[in-house]
Structures are given as C-alpha cells and as structure tokens.
Chain A
C-alpha cells in the first residue's frame, strides 16, 4: 500500500490517508471482462471521480465498492483491512452510502420519510419497542429526526419536506436521494452520475451541495459523472477507465494532459 502524508488543499480541506483501496480488481460476467486488473485508491476527505466513455465499467466499479458485485480477482481494502465478500447492506453498515443513476426512491412516500429510511442503520430498538413506541424507540426516533432535519436544512429541501417524492421534479429527486444517502452518515459516499439529465442551474446547485457535503461533513466522495466540466472542477483526483482498463489516474490537470486519455475519451484537448 502506498503511504501518503496528509495534506491541506488550496481551499483548506484536509486530505488524509487511504480510506479504500482497490487492488488488481478483475470482474467478469460470463465471458465478458467488464473490468480488468484495475488498482486505485480513495483517500480520506477527497473527492474522487471515475470517468470514462459508455461501457467503460464505471458503474460496475461503483457496484464493487458498494458490495453489489464481487470481483473474481483482486481485493477491496477498506479502512486498512481487506474486506471480505459482503452483502450490500453489510457494506452500508460499514459506512458506505450511495445514490443511484436511475433514482431509487420510494415514490409514494414523503421526502421526510424517504430520508428517514436512510437512518435505518442507526436504529437499534427492537420490533416490540418500535411497535409500541416505547423506551428506546421513541428516543431513537427523536434523535434520528433531528439528524434528518439537519440534512434537510443543509440541502435546502424544507419546502418539500411533506411532499410525496413522486410529485417532485427530477432535479429535486436527485437531491432527496443525496439527502437519504447522507442520513446514513457515510464515511464514503458513492454518487452514480449525480448530474445526469440536469440543466445548468441544477448542475450548479448539485455541485455546490457535493462540495459542501465534502467540506462540512468531511465525507469522502467517489463519483461517476459524464459532464467533463463538472468532474474537472469538483474532483481532487480522477481515475479514467476505457474498455474495463485503467488508462489514467491523477489530478484533473494531469489527466487532462494525458495523451492516452485524450485519445480515448476527450477526443481533442480542451483549451
């Protein structure tokens, strides 16, 4: 494992040691090799982007991190130890939260209830306590609601607190999904195309929120995104994938000037 010195970015955030490391990951679906021998790491406190053309294996990589897929070869190291094959909910309990490319909210439930489901991993009262609203259940509910309200305030969705998610426009649904993921207080937050299908204004809002989450809560963020401008502005480091292989890894500037990357993905150099 590479040893890193913690450092402070120009905008005053502290980037710490390695939080998660992917070691020589290979993932196959039958005969198709979706990911071949990829290694990279995610450092504490950073915003890490995974980019690449369609079908490059970005989402598969995210699904490996979240425990949905299990690679045939290679290891996932999390918080300094190899992580055994786990169910996604077990991974979630270890502090990995995520949002989805196609919004996966409970459409009939209110925003508040949706975000409350994010607190599930923080509820420990027994079935009977919860059914009778007694003792621990009540205390937990109040505490959890307080936490959820802070997130609602943070993401500025107070006005839709009671609105059923199904009635919301797309951009707001994305924000609610982010709220639900945050409610779990993840140490690593995975965002699968957080800006897909948004207009410029919504993208600006979302970028602001991602930066604020990273800054205020110190949450490490790994994201997949198509919008190059957004990726380059947001991330501290970028992994570039193409046909299941890693073809670049570094700061946005390094990646932007990497000939392999330019050829494979960006086409022509920007600016």
Chain B
C-alpha cells in the first residue's frame, strides 16, 4: 500500500494516543485498580511514565520489532501497560484467555511464536513452564504477582516490577532506540493479534492493524458521544476483542479511565463502587444480576415485596417509553418519579448502574424480559452485533431505537450486504488484516474487495432498517420434511428462563426436534431450598422429578411460542433430557466465550441423542469430565427422557406447501 492518509493526523498508534493523553489530560485518572481494599490510581502522565519504563526494560531484555508478546492474566493496569509498552518497541501484543488449559495455550503460543510471555501470577507461570519443553522459542517469562515465585529458577524468569526498574535505570541508554521504534509505527502496523475461540477447529490469530482499532474506536465513540469523562470497568477477558476495543482502543482514543476490579469475585461490589458511565456485559452477566435481585426480593419483607412489584409493573409499562423519549402521561411520569425514589434509584445503585449512560450487551441473544427489565429501570442498555474480525462493530442500536429482537442499524463506516443464502457480509475500516499464518482461511473469509462473511444468517427489517440475526448460517439446516431448522432460535427462547442455563437443540435432517438442557444451579438451587427439596449434588438436582416437571413446563411454553412463527414452527421440541453435568469449556463442549460447540456435543453424547429418538424412557451414560486443575474423571448417570407436548401450527399446510 502507498502512503496512507490518516484522518486522525499523527495519532496513528496506541503509543501516540497515550502520549497525546499524557499531554492533554496529564492529571486526570487513566487507570485505577483496587488493591488492598483501596482504589489505587494513575494519571495519564503517570501511566505514560510507567509504560515507558516498562518499554525500556523490554528493550533491555532484547525485544525486537515484530516479536510476539503474549499476555496471560486478569484485567490489571500492568497488563494493559505491557501491551502498550510492547507496541512502543514495535512488538505485537497477544492477549490470551487466562482460564485456558496448558495445551490450548501451547497451541497459541506455538502458533504465534511468542518470545516473551507476561503472566499475571504463579498459576499462569506454571502453565507456561509446563509447555516450555515443547516450545523452545520462549526467551523470557515475566510475571506481575510475586507470590509463590521465590523458589523458581529465575534465569529466564523476571518480576515485571524489576524489569520496569531496570528500564527506569537504563532510561538514557534506550531513549533514542525507543523514539526510533515508535516513529516507525504507522496506521498499517499491527496493533494487536487476538485469537478467536472458534466454535470449530483450532483458534485463528486475527491480525488487527492500528487503522482497524483506531478507526473503530473513533467511529463508535462518535456514535455514542463518548468523551474523556467516561468511567469503565475492565473485567471481561483481555483476550476478547471487546475488551481490547473498550479498554485500549476507546479508552486511549477518548482518554477515559479504565478501572480494574480487585479480583474476579469482587466484580459486583467493585462495579457498585465505580458506577461506570459506559458499561459492557454479555447477557449472562445481566441474567445473573437479575436472578440475584429476584432471589433477594423473594426473601424480602412483605412491604418491600409489594413496593417492588408495584413499581416494577409500572416501570415495565412506561419505563422504556420514558427512556426513548416517547409520550407518557403526566400522572404516569409522576408515579415513575416516585418509583425512582423508592425502587429504581436504590436498585440501580446496588447494581452499580446509577451512572450508566451507554450500556451494551452482545455475544449472545439476550432474553426480552431481561432486556426490558434493565431498560424499564431507565438504564440505556442496547445491543450490538460484531465479531473479532470486524474489530467488534458491525451493527448497533442507536439511542431511542432499541428493541430486544434486533441488533440495530449498520455501524458508522460499515457496509453490510445480505448474501443469496441469507448470510451477512460486511466491509469496514475495522475489517481485519489477515489470519496469522493462515492464508487459506483468510481467503475463504475475506474476498478481494474486502467483504467478510460472518457465517451468520439474518435480514434487514424493511420498515425500520434494523438487522435481525436468525442463527449461525452453518447451523441453519433443514428437517426431514424440508422445514427450516434454526436451533439457536429455540435455544435462546429456552435460555430466557432463569432455570435454564444452556440448551442444545438437535433435529437437522430428522423428523422432530429434541433438546439437551442444563439447569442453572443458582436459580434451581434456590427454588429447591424454598420448596424443601434436598439434594446432594448437581446431578441429583438435575434429575429430580419436580425439576424435570418445571423444565417440561418451560419447554412446552417455548413450543407454543415457536408455533407462532410460520417459518420455524417445525422446530418445536418433542423430547428432551436434563444433562447430568454442566457443559464446560474445559471439556471442550463450549468455547471460552461460552458458545456451545454443537459438533463436539453431538459426538460426545451420541448415545443420549440416539435415546432421544428411539423412544426409550431412560438412558444410562458415562461421561468424562475435566477438573479445573486438568485432571480427568468420569461420572455415570441414568437420565430420564421426557416427552413434551407440541402445538400443531395454524398455518401448517401453508408452510409445508
């Protein structure tokens, strides 16, 4: 490519943005982290100093241009700094999922040929040391948390803090070299490489350039009018493109503050303390927050319960309308204001949503009830549609045009085209450069004109111009009688029940549909407690006759709702079973971002699927499970197969014709 025009002027890399922020917002908070019970904070000028020292330290260790620097750990300022410091040195940061088991990590580290690995703590260092024998390319392992590290052989192992101190001491020696390396960065240099978890096959390294990240950050910030005063909580995996866009791209572009929680367990109380103005969470987080609110309300006193019910009914009726600026009568507005004082305000405060101006959910479909619950409280929760290859944004909902069943309008700067098969294609400044060392996949995903196949099937609504997603294009199939089979559509309806954590629907090429169901231990456990149902294990609770009865009621309700849709009425569930174990990423049944891997599940539980179709009442099975420490075990169970009533659709003949 010839000389690149950069609409953003000199601001064509993350380090350049950092230096701009250190000048423009010198004394404003850039990073906060709760440690030892206190929010420690760093201003932009302090952050720049820390990152520079770290970069000098990296140079002292011999970091070269184009080196890959893996970062494995939870969200901490140090880890974000290591990424920017690596970029300063002309190296490429590669954040990894910290809960990945050693063999998954080995593949990614080997594939990108990482010479440097920055680890959060001993647990991650252990994993890296475990796989180092297979990978001879790792030259230096650095760690943030000193605990337990004293006894290790430190020949190629360093405390990140020591490296920073060495960098500080060698300031003058490396200043020139660092300036040189930073000056070489342009809009087309690689900003970051992120591995997609992928529902099929090995992870692929998505190469994103500075152009991808900065243009996307710029466009999306303008879309939601984000500014330097935003506060965000960085708690989603650093390896996920969303966190990179929010906590790196948008944070550096706007100069807003990134807050890191004290630990994964304290996320909820940290959220409350920070009260972010811009918030992002997968539906799962919103679901679990709502579940915990409901559980606590059930235990509350009569007066509180009445107040809650009364004002939540009102909120459901008028809340979304008020939020969207539509017409609402004066009386209802007054009552809503009272509700704000009595219920909504305190509730939002408890949840940490008092100040949320823009909230997003993505990754999976969110239940309409859950979505409406938050919106009725006056929280501007919206949906977006995106993927790693697009630097997140493909479509998103503008303020005041929010609905549970669409993903909004085309994001600024993005073009969307619907293919003949219904598959969605897009082209945007955020479109990835390539899959690292995988030209075949790059070619099959992105054509020469830059159009990328999303693998999702969807359509634009004619009257509103909003995009609706049906399912993964490859998952959409045909049933034996030719009807459309869209498992995700049914699964999402099932998952909207708090009792159901996961569902997997089968039926491609078959006469009828069947399903595997995972119960939600929190919700069902609480229900069991209130109904005096004793259980000793997940397995026992999952198999309890009354639990099966409840799930059956949910399935039948879903069947009635599915029957309403002419296109998909054949996807009603005729038989189902409740699984004896939770589907788990460690067993390969889900991706790290918790999407079900259909193929693997169908293969692993082939005996169960067979039983669902052969009409038997129960089935015996044995399953291998992987514990968190990597050991394997087996669990045996006898599962009951349950028939569910289905509804004959009204337009059956028409649809079949």
Instruction: Point out residues on A near B: beta carbons under 8 Å.
Output: 11-12, 145-146, 149-150, 152-154, 156, 158-159, 161-162, 212, 215-216
Contacts and interface: CB of A to CB of B under 8 A. Distances in A.
28 contacts: A11-B151, A12-B150, A12-B151, A145-B37, A146-B36, A149-B36, A149-B38, A152-B37, A153-B35, A153-B36, A154-B147, A158-B37, A158-B262, A158-B263, A158-B265, A159-B263, A159-B265, A159-B266, A159-B269, A161-B37, A162-B269, A212-B147, A212-B148, A215-B150, A215-B151, A216-B147, A216-B148, A216-B150
Nearest to A212: B148
Interface string B129-167: 000000000000000000110110000000000000000
A203 to B, nearest CB: 13
Contacts of A145: 37
Contacts of A159: 263, 265-266, 269
A167 B299 CA distance: 15
A146 B148 CA distance: 21
Contacts of A149: 36-38
Interface of B: 35-38, 147-148, 150-151, 262-263, 265-266, 269
- Main secondary structure on A side of the interface with B: helix
Contacts of A162: 269
B378 to A, nearest CB: 27
Contacts of B38: 149
B153 to A, nearest CB: 10
Contacts of A146: 36
Contacts of A150: 36
B519 to A, nearest CB: 21
Given A152-B37, A154-B147, A159-B263, 7 more contacts: A11-B151, A12-B150, A12-B151, A153-B35, A158-B262, A158-B265, A212-B147
Contacts of A215: 148, 150-151
Nearest to B36: A149
Nearest to A149: B36
A235 to B, nearest CB: 18
B34 to A, nearest CB: 8
Nearest to B37: A149
B267 to A, nearest CB: 9
Contacts of A12: 150-151
A42 B37 CA distance: 36
A161 B268 CA distance: 13
A239 B150 CA distance: 29
A161 B147 CA distance: 21
Contacts of A156: 263
A11 B148 CA distance: 11
Nearest to A146: B36
A152 to B, nearest CB: 7
B317 to A, nearest CB: 36
Nearest to B261: A158
A212 B150 CA distance: 11
6 closest A-B pairs by CB: A159-B265, A149-B36, A12-B151, A159-B266, A149-B37, A158-B262
Nearest to A112: B37
